[in-house]
Chain A
């Protein structure tokens, strides 16, 4: 953790993310368009699930199904409101020997994975991500819990990161 402290600057500048869990690091933020992806997918899945519940509610005339519709709609609303802030909380930092990823608003998390522990790097996209020319880079290790993924990277950046991480993983390869 060598970078100068940005804590004094208060808010991070655009394109950067900070987390109180590692005050000395300046993380690269993910693409702001990821908030749109979050909203879109939340709307799509949330609304179709709510519609399903409502349909069943009509059919079976059960109160709890309607309660579920309300809960799902509330959840969708919360996600829509927080999508921008949530996507801003994501960041990654390519350290000398480890990759750092921070995420989360309510439950803040900072993960550090040594490059040598990497088993494989995976780039994924989906219909929503593709629409905004984004992709998700996942870094997989021998421990399921230590796998980290960085969602919402511009496709070029994702590709660069994949190549770079694979290189580093090979250079610093270690056993379990």
Chain B
């Protein structure tokens, strides 16, 4: 990593001192070669899939394969070798010209030979820092970082590959610097270069074991859908043999593939209370990691697919301002930070995310939000008239406005859900009433939020209730906004007892990895009944695990 740039001249005019620039890991160019090869494999797969779909029998495919390789094996190998060489060279040149620097005014990234790019992200614009460890990177003990801003059209700054330890240190340094910049303090420049210790593991409040993950994937709506389509294909096969086997094969392979992907993606999910906020990690082949301050959470969505009701499992997702929070999940698949968890774990998560539910008896309130139905002192339910348009969910549908949040309880055919949104987070409210709803005197109340990930709608309220609720919610939003009741990160740390910052850590090192196993805190937190009790228990658990370390 030492040995300075060929392209020093180009770096000179950038406003950053030349010796501040740093290179990425030497292994980085090899990633390009690997990418080329995986592209070749993919292309080959697509080609043969196309052949298969054309209805040609496996036999002819085999003939084709054997024939091709027999006649042109030498040529194919030569072409691929040449391509590897060229892509390696290109990747190496690209690596030689890629630099990054952390300086007083932010993060700089320069790359490109013909098309140069100089990205500059100011400290106070940093939104999220994500560490990603892809399969290839993990082989070499490396990882990469993505730093995003709120800008809607930039994909963020990607830093990588770097050593795993460096990734962790960089992340800490960037978060610390952006925190200081936001508070207007001078930026104390990151000590990560001195090779500071690996930070201790913060307290885990959620940990997913393999058994539960596999069971939950097995009893998911997707599995049932897959089974249905397989059954359909078998029927088809019975009546019209032969050719129908091919789509069947594809469906089975597709279902299996998506199940494996979802399992791998959610493997070993862990949620911790880190110093900078809530830290989420998951993944088998590539580990994704995100840290977000709970103050940036706009809304929480908790849902339960129908097959999970037997076990009382739920899943939880959060709506966070900013874009690339969970980059390893596709847009169509809503990322759940807790892919499957018990009621107790959900309540622990709510406790970690929300300073206050704004009710007298949070336990009874949550019981009602998760399991309840009908009107009560707290919840305003959908009227009986709505059973015509919502035969399965109408009993469960209801909304509660507490002092701090709005809680929307919904029921559907294939599951139920709870949505929680801060009063001061909606961008607008709207009421809607279609032709049928209007006949029945019903209306939907919709909370418009940043981002599209969670739709927050309470459907089929009676029209009078909807109007009144809209009015009340606007009022609550006003008063909360003027009161400014948002929880600062300092107060959050105190409340949940988050891990101390790195400087306070007694003695970073290998001892922490083994001794700091924070499972105890998380596990005991699972059955935390009252939220308050959960809080104290968490703190005790953390103290214990810290004691072990020392």
Contact = CB atoms under 8 A, between A and B. Distances in A.
Interface stretch (A34-42, A112-120, A123-131): A112-120
Interface stretch (A15-23, A47-55, A150-158): A15-23
B483 to A, nearest CB: 12
Contacts of B474: 97-98, 112, 114
A174 B481 contact: yes
Contact of A114 (B428, B435, B452, B470): B428
Given A107-B434, A107-B435, A144-B452, A21 B427 contact: no
B438 interface: yes
B433 A143 contact: no
B85 to A, nearest CB: 47
B430 interface: yes
Contacts of B481: 114, 116, 174
A148 interface: yes
A176 to B, nearest CB: 5
A111 interface: yes
A112 B429 contact: yes
B430 A143 contact: no
A79 interface: no
A142 B463 contact: no
A138 to B, nearest CB: 13
B466 interface: yes
Contacts of A148: 428
A8 interface: no
- Interface SS of B by simple majority: mixed
A82 interface: no
Interface string A85-126: 000000000000110000000111111111011000000000
A98 B466 CA distance: 17
Nearest to B424: A174
B434 A113 contact: no
B430 A112 contact: yes
A166 interface: no
A145 interface: yes
Contact of A117 (B427, B446, B451, B463): B427
Contacts of B434: 106-107
A176 B432 contact: no
B466 A112 contact: no
Contacts of B321: 176
A56 interface: no
B494 to A, nearest CB: 23
B427 A109 contact: no
Of the candidates A98, A106, A108, A148, the one having the most CB atoms from chain B within 10 angstroms of its own CB is A108
B477 interface: yes
A141 interface: yes
A113 B427 contact: yes
Nearest to A106: B435
Given A97-B474, A174-B481, A107 B428 contact: no
A168 B421 CA distance: 25
A141 B448 CA distance: 10
A111 B445 CA distance: 10
Nearest to A174: B481
Contacts of B424: 174
- Interface SS of A by simple majority: mixed
Contacts of A109: 430-433
B451 to A, nearest CB: 8
B542 interface: no
B428 A21 contact: no
A18 to B, nearest CB: 12
B432 A107 contact: yes
Nearest to B322: A176
B444 to A, nearest CB: 10
B178 interface: no
Nearest to A21: B431
Interface in A1-60: 1, 20-23
Contacts of A112: 428-430, 470, 474
A111 B428 contact: yes
Contact of B433 (A108, A116, A142): A108
Interface string B414-441: 0000000000111111111111001000
Contacts of B298: 176
Interface string B497-540: 00000000000000000000000000000000000000000000
B342 interface: no
A143 B478 contact: no
Given A23-B467, A97-B478, A174-B481, A146 B435 contact: no
Interface in B435-483: 435, 438, 443, 446, 448-452, 463, 466-467, 470-471, 474, 477-478, 481
Contacts of A146: 426-428, 430, 448
A108 B438 contact: yes
A106 B474 CA distance: 25
B439 to A, nearest CB: 12
Given A112-B429, A114-B474, A142 B450 contact: yes
Given A1-B471, A21-B463, A143 B448 contact: yes
A143 B298 CA distance: 12
Contacts of A20: 433, 438, 463
Contact of A113 (B428, B432, B451, B478): B428
B450 to A, nearest CB: 5
B471 to A, nearest CB: 6
Contacts of A21: 431, 433, 443, 463, 466-467
A108 B432 contact: yes
A110 B431 CA distance: 5
Of the candidates A107, A117, A146, the one having the most CB atoms from chain B within 10 angstroms of its own CB is A146
A114 B477 contact: yes
Given A143-B448, A143-B449, A174-B481, A110 B430 contact: yes
A176 B430 contact: no
Given A108-B432, A113-B427, A114-B477, 17 more contacts: A21-B443, A97-B478, A106-B434, A107-B433, A107-B435, A108-B431, A112-B474, A113-B428, A114-B428, A117-B428, A141-B427, A141-B448, A142-B427, A143-B451, A145-B448, A146-B426, A146-B428
- Lowest 10 A-B CB distances belong to which pairs? A146-B428, A146-B448, A143-B427, A113-B428, A146-B427, A111-B430, A110-B431, A145-B448, A141-B427, A143-B448
5 contacts: A106-B435, A107-B434, A113-B427, A141-B427, A174-B481
